Amino acid sequence: MASKPRTLYEKIWDAHVVERRDDGTCLIYIDRHLVHEVTSPQAFEALRVSGRKVRRPDLTLAVPDHNLPTTARRDAAGQRIPISDPESAQQLAALERNAPEFGIRLIGDADAEQGIVHVVGPEQGFSLPGATIVCGDSHTACHGGLGALAFGIGTSEVEHVLATQTLLLKQSKTMEVRVEGQLGPGVTAKDVVLHICGVLGAAGGTGYVIEYTGSVIRDLSIEGRLTVSNMAIEHGARAGLIAPDEKTFAYVQGRPYAPKDADWDKAVAWWTSLATDPGAVYDKVVTIDAADIAPTVTWGTSPEDTVAITGTVPDPASFADPSKQEAARKSLDYMGLTPGQRMQDVEVQNVFIGSCTNSRIEDLRAAAAVLKGRTKAPNVKWAIVVPGSGLVKRQAEAEGLDKVFTQAGFEWREPGCSACLGMNPDKVPAGERCASTSNRNFVGRQGPGARTHLVSPAMAAAAAVTGKLADVRELA
Amino acid sequence: MEAVRQVDGRAIPFGAKNVDTDVIIPAHWLKTITREGLGRGAFETLRKDPDNLFDSAEYAGSPILIAGDNFGCGSSREHAAWALLDLGIKAVIAPSFSDIFSGNAFKNGILTVVLPQDQVDRLLEVAKTDPVHIDLENQVVTTPFQDRFEFEIDPFRKHCLLNGLDEVGLTLARDTAISTYEQEARATLPWLAKGVETA
Ligand code: SF4
């Protein structure tokens, strides 16, 4: 009997249903849970108060990242350098207390493997294709780049997963975003996903899990796929997914927590079977032509506010929707931009290369390739590179990339979320602009009054060199 | 979680519309590590006014808050519910709530009561001088003046609130089903069951 053709999402979902309720809600088993210092303290507190345990500490991994300073964490004698913000210090201390108390493996703030949760998970082989993965952070969809069903959760849900290893969920609708063709020179995974944000809008994926397909997605490296899936939430989707293939298997194999020996063969067979069946129907399909994607920048305060680097700041009146007109006006006011202004004339004072979107080794290589033999423009006051993990940092140093960055005038930092969010000391000053490889350009995201332009690593490097948002293709 | 059957007492006649989570608890309170004590940050900005309702002797310890349309809009921070709880609020009455806020309130055992604007206006009036009574069992809000306003509530939420059941507790009661799933998964997807112990 032939079963109904299913999508990748439906197959992963079906494999994780513990119980199905009458109203369609399902109790879904969670295979991997990443925990960091900001959204977990109250969850652990609730467990303690109610005398509950962590059901599967072995499926849980704790890593501090959000508010750790990215400056040195140990002095020459190996002693911890105190964190000046008492609240950040307290959250870190809470994680360091809670993890051992509940039997959870903690990667410490100065361990070589420490980094941003979404960089560490795939790197350690903790995140696997076909797995359900959660974390108390909105960009958990990142792991979907490996073909995992991954999404962000709130603190109550963190507690729920810790105690039960499950979540009560309603199945999402499915959307296919198919990107076909060949990317032009200078166009990267980040440009692809920024372009998708522009096409779908910030709420276009609401209620959906998106599967990214097509030749462009297949041709991306695994790191590029992680970049694309990372921003699924920025078009409103619950999660993003990319079907695992040979590249995925090659990426996963041999990592510390990856399946081994007989398990490996079984795993690959299962992962291969997850691909969307021919004839499976998505609730919605959006097709994008690679030829339409240029190196892309944002002009406003929503990731949907994208434009090609060769373009200009739009006129709010040009939007059909009156509420979008109003939002655009407010955005331009906050961003200090005028309609018609050329994007390439916009000066930046800060450049941030990092975040779970773009802090892996290929990102650093791409930025370094542009920076090699060049230095940052005098008007760029602050330029930092924050590797996504200690292992990325070590690899970059082995390749001499750190020298390229420091010679270009960048600061070379310790791994963490850094200037992706204004929660640790790395902030963009009010009223100043930042070309940033992160994922959110919201009002105040990089610090109160900070003006963010989202770009790819190569474009961030180009901005550092020219002191303006710049077309990386002209620096080749 | 504490069961909610009746909520009885003075109600803070707040009444403001579109109160976002930033007003309920400003962002700088998010860096805490416990739920306790967040009541101090609740409505912090409004409480800079010495004549604010929240610190007046008259409404000290009030278990009910009456608000306007779209209460709890803005960010999804659960701290908003924790702050209200820490302030002693057990129920909020308003013409409408943001979905995320009412979900967070429910998860933390706070009853949200939706009533039409005219009835909310009447309660705001009563609350200035007299107590308000909420009977969850019978889904009705009453006052000492014979007002009687019935309200709707999701039967599942009602059941949980009446019995003090939290979602974690309810799922823990499904332990057999979860264990069965784990056993099957260990056979079919063994590598997924191994986690960090494989290292
Ligand atoms: S880098 Fe930014 S988006 Fe990524 S986990 Fe950290 S704070 Fe979240």
Contact by Cβ (8 Å): A138, A132: no
Give the mutation candidate from A17, A59, A238 for the B interface (greatest B CB count, under 10 A).
A59
Asked whether this complex has an ipTM greater than 0.90, the answer is yes
> What is the tens place of the pLDDT at every residue in A394-406?
999 999 999 999 9
For residue B198, the model assigns a pLDDT of: 40
Residue A432's pLDDT band (boundaries 50, 70, 90)? Answer: very high
**Coil vs helix vs strand at B187:** helix
- The answer for A 269-288 residues in CB contact with B (under 8 A) is 270
Residue B56, domain member (yes or no):
yes
Contact by Cβ (8 Å): A459, A472: yes
Mutate to test the pocket of ligand 1, among A65, A67, A446 (most ligand atoms within 8 A of CB): A65
For residue B199, the model assigns a pLDDT of: 39
CATH number where B49 lies: 3.20.19.10
Q: Measured between beta carbons, which residues in chain B are less than 8 angstroms from residue A38?
A: 30-31
Mutate to test the pocket of ligand 1, among A137, A386, A440 (most ligand atoms within 8 A of CB): A137
Q: Are strands B91-94 and B64-66 parallel, antiparallel or unpaired?
A: parallel
Q: Measured between beta carbons, which residues in chain B are less than 8 angstroms from residue A259?
A: 191, 194, 198
Q: Measured between beta carbons, which residues in chain B are less than 8 angstroms from residue A267?
A: 189, 191
Distance CA A305, CA A309 (A): 12
Domain boundaries, chain A: 8-169, 173-243+269-292, 296-475
Q: What is the mean predicted confidence (pLDDT) over A407-432?
A: 95
Nearest to A164 among B78, B172, B194 (CB): B172
For residue A2, the model assigns a pLDDT of: 60
> What is the tens place of the pLDDT at every residue in A268-293?
999 999 999 999 999 999 999 999 99
Q: Measured between beta carbons, which residues in chain A are less than 8 angstroms from residue B172?
A: 52, 163-164
To the nearest whole Å, the CA of B100 is away from the closest chain A CA by 11
Mutate to test the pocket of ligand 1, among A36, A118, A352, A359 (most ligand atoms within 8 A of CB): A118
Which residue's alpha carbon is at the smallest distance from atom 7 of ligand 1? A417
> What is the tens place of the pLDDT at every residue in B87-104?
999 999 999 998 889 989
Residue B41, domain member (yes or no):
yes
Pick the atom of ligand 1 nearest to A137's CA: 8
Query: How many CB atoms neighbour CB A284 within 10 A?
Result: 15
Nearest to A470 by CA among A341, A342, A339: A342
Contact by Cβ (8 Å): A215, A180: yes
- The residue ranges of chain B whose pLDDT is under 70 are 197-199
Secondary structure E strands in A319-432: 350-353, 382-385, 411-412
Owning domain of residue B106: 6-164
Give the mutation candidate from A37, A38, A155 for the B interface (greatest B CB count, under 10 A).
A155
Domain A173-243+269-292 is of which CATH architecture?
Answer: 3-Layer(aba) Sandwich (3.40)
For residue B26, the model assigns a pLDDT of: 87
CATH top-level class for A296-475? alpha beta
Q: Which residues pair with B141 in a beta bridge?
A: B134, B149
Distance CA A314, CA A6 (A): 41
Residues 6+ apart with CB under 8 A from A49: none
Residue A48's pLDDT band (boundaries 50, 70, 90)? Answer: very high
Cα–Cα distances in angstroms (integers) from residue A11 to residues A163, A221, A240, in the given order: 25, 24, 14
- The torsion of the CA quartet A364, A365, A369, A374, rounded to 10 degrees, works out to 40
For residue A476, the model assigns a pLDDT of: 72
What is the Å distance from ligand 1's center to A417 Cα? 5
Domains A8-169 and A296-475 share a fold: yes
Nearest CA in chain A to B190: A263
Q: Does the CB atom of residue A356 touch ligand 1 within 6 A?
A: yes
To the nearest whole Å, the CA of A170 is away from the closest chain B CA by 15
What is the number of structural domains in chain B?
A: 1
**Coil vs helix vs strand at B50:** coil
Residue B32, domain member (yes or no):
yes
Contact by Cβ (8 Å): B29, B41: yes
Residue B183, domain member (yes or no):
no
Pick the atom of ligand 1 nearest to A418's CA: 1
Which tokens belong to A41?
């303290």
Cα–Cα distances in angstroms (integers) from residue A135 to residues A7, A155, A161, A248, in the given order: 24, 9, 10, 21
In CATH terms, the fold of domain A8-169 is Aconitase; domain 3 (3.30.499)
What is the Å distance from ligand 1's center to A441 Cα? 13
> What is the tens place of the pLDDT at every residue in A366-395?
999 999 999 999 999 999 999 999 999 999
Nearest to A456 by CA among A355, A340, A325, A345: A355
Class of residue A182 by CB neighbours under 10 A (exposed 0-12, middle 13-18, buried 19+): exposed
Per-residue DSSP letters for A359-379? -SHHHHHHHHHHHTT----TT
Query: Would you say how long chain B is, in residues?
Result: 199
A94 touches chain B (CB under 8 A): yes
Nearest to A4 by CA among A283, A280, A285, A274: A280
Distance CA A83, CA A96 (A): 14
Q: What is the pTM of this model?
A: 0.92
Nearest to A164 among B31, B34, B178 (CB): B178
Residue B176, domain member (yes or no):
no
